[in-house]
Amino acid sequence: MRIDADSSAARRVRALRQDIERHNRAYYELDAPLIPDAEYDRLMRELEQLEAQHPELASADSPTQRVGGAARADLPSVRHAVPMLSLGNALDDDEVRAFDQRVRDALARDASLGRSVDEDVTYCCELKFDGLAVNLRYEHGVLVAAATRGDGTVGEDVTPNVRTIHGIPLRLAGLSPAVLEVRGEVLMFRADLDRLNARQREREEHEFANPRNAAAGSLRQLDPKITAQRRLRFFAYGVGELAGIIEPPSHAATLDLLARSGLPVNGERRIARGVEGLLGFYRGIQAKREKLPFDIDGVVYKVDDRNLRERLGFVSRAPRFAIAHKFPPQEVMTQVLDIDVQVGRTGAITPVARLAPVAVGGVTVTNATLHNEDEVRRKDVHVGDTVIVRRAGDVIPEIVGVVADRRPPSARPFVMPAACPVCGSAIERPADEAIARCTGGLFCAAQRKQAVLHFASRRALDIDGLGERLVEQLVDGGQVRSVADLFGLDAATLAGLDRMGERSAGNLVRAIAAARTPTLARFVYGLGIRHVGEATAAALARHFGNLASLLRAGAADFMQVEDVGPVVAESIERFLGEPHNRKIIERLREFIAIADEHEGAAHAAPAGPLSGKVVVLTGTLEHFTRDAAKELVESAGGRVAGSVSRKTNFVVAGADAGSKLDRARELGIEVIDEAAFRRLLEK
Cα 136 to Cα 146: distance, rounded to the nearest angstrom? 5
Quick: pLDDT tens for 74-83. Answer: 678 899 999 9
CA nearest to 568, candidates 612, 533, 593 = 533
Q: Which residues of 575-604 are buried (b: 16+ CB within 10 A; e: fewer)?
A: bbebebbeebbebbeebbebebbeeeeeee
Cα 31 to Cα 33: distance, rounded to the nearest angstrom? 6
Cα 538 to Cα 601: distance, rounded to the nearest angstrom? 11
When computed from its CA atoms, the radius of gyration of the chain, rounded to whole angstroms, is: 32
User: What average pLDDT does range 588-611 have in this prediction?
Assistant: 71
645 pLDDT above the threshold of 70 = yes
H, E, C per residue of 161-205: HHCCCCCCCCECCCCCCCEEEEEEEEECCHHHHHHHHHHHHHCCC
User: What average pLDDT does range 477-506 have in this prediction?
Assistant: 90
pLDDT of residue 29: 57
Task: Note the CATH architecture for domain 428-591.
Answer: Orthogonal Bundle (1.10)
> Are the C-beta atoms of 359 and 331 separated by less than 8 Å?
no
Quick: pLDDT tens for 326-375. Answer: 988 778 899 999 999 999 878 899 999 999 998 887 788 899 989 899 98
514 pLDDT above the threshold of 90 = yes
- Please give the full DSSP string across 217-275, using - where no structure is assigned: HHHT-SSHHHHHTS--EEEEEEEEEEESSPPPSBHHHHHHHHHHTT----S--EEEEHH
206: number of CA atoms within 13 Å, CB side? Answer: 9
DSSP single-letter state for residue 426: B
pLDDT of residue 4: 58
> Are the C-beta atoms of 140 and 98 separated by less than 8 Å?
no
Packing angle of the helix pair 190-202, 659-667 (nearest 10 deg): 40
User: What average pLDDT does range 448-464 have in this prediction?
Assistant: 92
> Are the C-beta atoms of 520 and 597 separated by less than 8 Å?
yes
CA nearest to 159, candidates 76, 74, 262, 67 = 76
pLDDT of residue 15: 87
User: What average pLDDT does range 208-222 have in this prediction?
Assistant: 84
Q: Phi and psi of 545, rounded to 5°?
A: 80, -30
User: 489 - beta bridge partners?
Assistant: none
pLDDT of residue 143: 93
503 pLDDT above the threshold of 80 = yes
User: Among all residues, which ones are annotated catalytic?
Assistant: 128
- Please give the full DSSP string across 474-511, using - where no structure is assigned: HHHTTS-SSGGGGGG--HHHHHTSTT--HHHHHHHHHH
Cα 343 to Cα 88: distance, rounded to the nearest angstrom? 46
For residue 131, what is the enclosing H or E element? none
pLDDT of residue 39: 81
Tell me what percent of the residues of the chain surpass a pLDDT of 70: 94
Q: How far is CA 143 from CA 139, 147, 176, 242, in A?
A: 7, 12, 10, 14
pLDDT of residue 69: 53
For the chain, the average pLDDT equals: 87
- CATH topology agreement for domains 8-65 and 331-404: no
Cα 630 to Cα 671: distance, rounded to the nearest angstrom? 17
- Please give the full DSSP string across 361-378, using - where no structure is assigned: TTEEEEEEE--SHHHHHH
Cα 519 to Cα 397: distance, rounded to the nearest angstrom? 44
DSSP single-letter state for residue 289: G
Delimit the domains of the chain by residue range. Answer: 8-65, 89-326, 331-404, 428-591, 614-682
448 pLDDT above the threshold of 80 = yes
Q: Phi and psi of 656, rounded to 5°?
A: 60, 35
Quick: pLDDT tens for 138-167. Answer: 999 999 999 999 888 999 999 999 998 988
For strand 331-343 and strand 386-390, is the pairing parallel, antiparallel, or unpaired? antiparallel
Torsion over CA of 437, 441, 446 and 452, rounded to 10 degrees?
A: 140
pLDDT of residue 604: 47
Measured over the CA atoms of residue 270, residue 271, residue 277 and residue 278, the dihedral's sign is positive
pLDDT of residue 405: 86
pLDDT of residue 352: 93
Q: How far is CA 12 from CA 1, 17, 298, 360, in A?
A: 18, 9, 30, 27
Q: How far is CA 528 from CA 450, 458, 461, 515, 581, in A?
A: 9, 13, 12, 16, 11
Cα 279 to Cα 92: distance, rounded to the nearest angstrom? 10
pLDDT of residue 27: 66
CATH number of 331-404: 2.40.50.140
Quick: pLDDT tens for 275-308. Answer: 999 999 999 999 898 899 999 989 999 999 999 9
Cα 564 to Cα 277: distance, rounded to the nearest angstrom? 64
Torsion over CA of 356, 357, 358 and 360, rounded to 10 degrees?
A: 120
CA nearest to 120, candidates 275, 311, 287 = 275
Contacts of 324 (CB under 8 A, 6+ apart): 87, 88, 89, 90, 128, 298, 299, 300
Cα 530 to Cα 441: distance, rounded to the nearest angstrom? 9
- Coil vs helix vs strand at 430: coil
Model confidence at 416, pLDDT cuts 50, 70, 90, reads very high
* 89-326 maps to CATH 3.30.470.30: yes
CA nearest to 32, candidates 213, 177, 249 = 213
Cα 388 to Cα 401: distance, rounded to the nearest angstrom? 5
Tell me what percent of the residues of the chain surpass a pLDDT of 90: 45
Model confidence at 5, pLDDT cuts 50, 70, 90, reads low
Superfamily of domain 614-682: BRCT domain (3.40.50.10190)
Q: How far is CA 24 from CA 68, 150, 406, 640, in A?
A: 7, 11, 19, 51
pLDDT of residue 253: 96
CATH number of 8-65: 1.10.287.610
444: left (phi over 0), alpha (psi -120 to 50) or beta: beta
